Amino acid sequence: MGMGTTERSGNSRARPPRQLRRSITLPQAVALYAGAVIGAGVLILPGVGAGTAGPASLVAWAFDGLLGIPIALTFAELAAHFPDAGGVATFAARAFGAGAGAVVGWSYFVAAAVAQALVVLTGGHYAADALH
């Protein structure tokens, strides 16, 4: 069965392949990537923020968690539609071509490495504070 066909109870009929709208521009893509990297940097200051804002920081944390739900649902829908290995790189490659998929894949790899480094730095900072 080729792409763009559906088979139901032995009866197949052709349908046009679904196309994602290509509306993200290069400046928008750069802004999304920069936001992911900068967002990882927020891991450095949670204690200071909670100490300054008090209970309001819990409200902000809960609100941020609620904002993550539509993002997770979007990725779940894309993964159900395109069950290939590669995650967001696969989605970008299907939407914008192999070059864009490679850039997105490497960008997510670098962003994940930076986020993990910041988690380790934060853990070391907290451990040092606890020991002194």
48-78 confidence digits (pLDDT tens): 677 777 778 778 878 888 888 888 888 888 8
pLDDT of residue 129: 74
103-116 confidence digits (pLDDT tens): 988 988 888 888 77
116-125 confidence digits (pLDDT tens): 777 777 777 7
Q: What are phi and psi of 91, to 5 degrees?
A: -65, -45
Cβ atoms of 98 and 23 within 8 Å: the answer is no
Question: What predicted TM-score, i.e. pTM, was given to this entire model?
Answer: 0.46
